Amino acid sequence: MDHHHTTLSDRLTFPEENRIATGFFAAGIIGIILSLIGLVVNTEQFFFSYLTSFAFIASLVLGALFFVMVQHVTRSSWSVVIRRIPETISFQLIWLGLLFIPILFGMEFLYEWTRPERIATDELTQHKLPYLNTPFFIIRNVIYFAVWGYLGYRLYKNSIAMDLQTEVAVLDKKQRILSAPGLLVFAFTVSFASFDWLMSMDSHWFSTMFGVYYFAMSFQTILAVVILLVLYLFRKGLLTNTIKKAHMHDLGAFLFGFTVFYAYIAFSQFLLIYYANIPEETLWYYYRFDGSWIFLAYLFLIGRFAIPFFLLLNRKAKTNYKLMMGVSIWIIMLQFAEMFWIVMPILHKGAISVHWLDISLLLAFFGISAGLFFRQFGKHSMIPKNDPLLSESLNKH
Amino acid sequence: MSTKDKPYGVLAEFDNPADLMDAASAVNKAGYKQFDTHSPFPIHGMDDAMGLKPSKLGWIVLVHGLIGLMGGVALQVWSMDIAYPVHISGKPYLNFPAFVPVTFALVILLSAFGTFFGLFKMNKLPRLHNPLFNSDRIAKATDDSFFISIQATDPIFAEKKTIEFLKEIGATHTEIIPES
C-alpha cells in the first residue's frame, strides 16, 4: 500500500561539502573583533549590548532543551523525525556558561545592586542584599549552567548512542527518566536565571511572572527556529521524504498555540501591574513605555501576537512554507527586539537608541552559535534513526 | 422487510480496513457523493480516500468568535463609558487593557457555542433513529467489520447497479436498507 512508508529513503547525514558552518563562524569572528573594539570605545554600551544578545541566544537553547524534554516525557512519536534539530541546539548549552563569564566583569554597569553608593542610600535594595549579592549571584549561575549543560549534553549523547546500536529500549527509558525531573529543575532554574539576568537590573522591581514570561518568549521562538531549520534542509533537498507536511503542520500548530501563550503571559504580567498601579511595580513599564520605547511595546502586541495569530489561523497556512518561513524569521527578529526592549531602556531612557555594538554583538553571538550548531549537526545522522517510535513518526498523516 | 418503498440505501461489508479504504476511494471516483464508511476504529487517510472536503466548522467558529469579540468590546464601552461612567483608581473610562479579560472570555464562550451547535447542526442532530440500524449486520461496525453505505438520495444511485458495483469492488456482503 502506498500510504504506508515505513522505511527511510533519504540520506541521513548533512552534506560535508556544505560550508554554512564556516560562513557563520566567519561572521561570528568579524562580530567578535568589532565588539572588542567597542569594548574599549564604549564599555558601558558593550555590556548592555552583550546582555541583550546573551539573553536572546540563551532563550533559544533553553527553549530547545524544553522542547526535547517534553517530547521524551510525553513519548511523542510525531516529533521523532525533527527531534535531532532541537537536540543539537540544546547540546550547545555546554558552551553557554562560558559566554556568561564576560557579564560578570560588567556587573557594576548592568546591576545597580552591585554599586556600593547605591546600596548605601537605598533601603529597599539593602533588604534584598541576602539574595542580590555578587558571590551568591555567581553561585546561582554556576548551578544553572551546570544543570542545563548536563541535561543538554546527556540527552544529546544518549540520542547519538541510540544511532549506533539496535538494543535501544534501555536508552529510550533513560531519556524519559532524565527528562521528567529535568523539566522540574528546568522550571526553577530558568525562572531564577531570568530574575537574575534581566529582572534584577531594576533592583526595586519584581514580577513573579517574569520567569514564565521569559520561558513563553523562548518557546515561541524556538519553534520558529526549528521550522526555519527544517525549511533550510528542504531547500537543500535534505529529508524531503522523511519530514512530511503532517510534521510541518504540527510544528505550525505548535507555533500558533505558543503565539497565543506568549501573548497571554506577556499581557497578564502587564495587566496585573497596570491595574494594581503600585509605583515600584509600574516603574518598570514606565521606562519601557517612555518616549519612543512605546512603539516597540505596540510592535510586540500587534506584530508578535495579532499578525501571526491571523496569518497562522487557517489550517492551510501551516503548510504554506513561504508564509511559515516569513512568520518564523519575523518572530525570531522580534524576540531579539523584545530582549532589547527589556534591557536597553535602563541605559537609554526615553528614546530608542540602536548602537552599532548591538549589531556587532548579535552577529558575534548568532554567528558562533549557528556555526557550532551546523558543525555539530553535520557530525551525526540528522534524525534519531533507531528511535523506537521512528516508524510511527514516519507514518504520520 | 418490504422492498416496495423507496429504500434508504445499500450497505456493503468489507473484510479489512485496507479493502474498505480502496473501496471508499473507488466509490468516490465513481461519482457518489452521499455515502459513508463505518469502522470500529478511525482509519488514517480515510478522509482523503472518501474525497471529503475540509470541514466548514472552523468558519462557523470564527464568525462566532468575532461576534464575541465585538460584543464584548461593545458591552464594556457602553456600560463603562456611556451608561455608567465610574471613576476607578484614576483610570480612564475607556480602559481597554481592563476590557481584555471579559472580551477574551466572551470570545471563548461564543466560540464554544459555535462549535457545539455547529456540530449539532452539521451532524443533523437530534436524530432518534438512523435507518442503518434496520440492518442486523451494522452492529458489527463496532466490533470486527467494515462497511460502506450509499444513500438512495444520491443522484447516481440505482439499486441494482449500485449493488453490482459494490460487489465488483470487493464487498463480501451487500444488502438493501429500508427507510423505516
**Alpha helix locations (H) across A122-244?**
123-128, 134-163, 169-197, 210-235
Tens-digit pLDDT profile for residues B107-117: 999 999 999 99
**Residues of A with Cβ-Cβ distance to B23 under 8 angstroms:** none
Say yes or no to pLDDT of A249 above 70: yes
ipTM of the complex: 0.76
pLDDT-flagged residues of chain B (< 50): 1-3
For residue B90, give the chain A residue with the closest CA: A277
Mean predicted confidence (pLDDT) in A308-316: 91
* Residues B17, B36: Cα–Cα separation, whole Å: 14
* Residues A324, B93: Cα–Cα separation, whole Å: 40
Tens-digit pLDDT profile for residues B66-106: 999 999 999 999 999 999 999 888 889 998 999 999 999 99
Q: What's residue B4's pLDDT?
A: 56
Residue of B44, B54, B97 with shortest CB distance to A315: B54
**Residues of B with Cβ-Cβ distance to A277 under 8 angstroms:** 89-91
**Residues of A with Cβ-Cβ distance to B98 under 8 angstroms:** 271, 274-275
CB A5, CB A394: distance < 8 Å: yes
Q: How far is B60 from chain A (nearest CA, A)?
A: 13
- pTM for the full model? 0.88
Residue of B44, B98, B100 with shortest CB distance to A397: B44
Mutation to test the B interface, candidates A268, A272, A274, A275, most B Cβ within 10 Å: A275
A256: left (phi over 0), alpha (psi -120 to 50) or beta: alpha
Sheet holding B35-38, edge to edge: B35-38, B146-151, B9-14, B173-177
Across chain A, mean pLDDT equals 92
Q: How far is A54 from chain B (nearest CA, A)?
A: 32
Tens-digit pLDDT profile for residues A191-246: 999 999 999 999 899 999 999 999 999 999 999 999 999 999 999 989 888 898 99
Pick from A213, A216, A183: nearest CA to A195: A213
Say yes or no to pLDDT of A328 above 80: yes
Phi/psi at B89 (nearest 5 deg)? 40, 50
First-to-last CA distance in chain A? Answer: 14
Q: What's residue A82's pLDDT?
A: 93
B 94-123 → A contacts, CB under 8 A: 97-98, 100-101
Residues of A at the B interface, defined by Cβ within 8 angstroms: 1, 3, 267, 270-271, 274-275, 277, 313, 315, 395, 397
Q: How far is B131 from chain A (nearest CA, A)?
A: 33
Check CB contact of B1 with chain A, cutoff 8 Å. Answer: no
Q: What's residue A6's pLDDT?
A: 62
Asked if A3's CB is within 8 angstroms of B45's CB, the reply is: yes
**Residues of A with Cβ-Cβ distance to B54 under 8 angstroms:** 315
Residue of B54, B89, B97 with shortest CB distance to A271: B97
C-alpha angle A91-A266-A131 in degrees, rounded to nearest 5: 70
Which residues 6+ apart lie within 8 Å of A64 measured at CB? A86, A87, A89, A90, A222, A225, A226
Residue of B18, B91, B101 with shortest CB distance to A1: B18
3-state secondary structure A26-71: HHHHHHHHHHHHHHHHCHHHHHHHHHHHHHHHHHHHHHHHHHHHHH
Q: Is A329 exposed, middle or buried (0-12, 13-18, 19+ CB in 10 A)?
A: middle
Helix (H/G/I), strand (E/B), else coil: B38: strand
Domains of chain B: 9-54+132-177 (3.30.70), 57-122 (no CATH)
Q: What's residue B180's pLDDT?
A: 72
Amino acid in position A155? L
Residue of A275, A313, A395 with shortest CB distance to B98: A275
Say yes or no to pLDDT of A142 above 80: yes
Mean predicted confidence (pLDDT) in A134-158: 95
Which residues 6+ apart lie within 8 Å of B130 measured at CB? none
Mean predicted confidence (pLDDT) in A286-293: 93
* Residues A45, A35: Cα–Cα separation, whole Å: 10
Q: How far is B69 from chain A (nearest CA, A)?
A: 14
Say yes or no to pLDDT of A101 above 50: yes
Phi/psi at B145 (nearest 5 deg)? -135, 165
Check CB contact of B155 with chain A, cutoff 8 Å. Answer: no
Q: How far is B44 from chain A (nearest CA, A)?
A: 7
Which residues does residue A336 pair with via DSSP β-bridges, in sequence order? none
Helix (H/G/I), strand (E/B), else coil: B2: coil
Q: What's residue B52's pLDDT?
A: 87
Asked if B45's CB is within 8 angstroms of A397's CB, the reply is: yes
Task: Name which of A154-168, A368-382, B71-85 the model is least confident about.
Answer: A154-168
Which residues does residue B12 pair with via DSSP β-bridges, in sequence order? B148, B174
For residue A271, give the chain B residue with the closest CA: B97
Q: What's residue A44's pLDDT?
A: 92
In chain A, % of residues over pLDDT 90: 78
C-alpha angle B99-B100-B104 in degrees, rounded to nearest 5: 125
Check CB contact of B129 with chain A, cutoff 8 Å. Answer: no
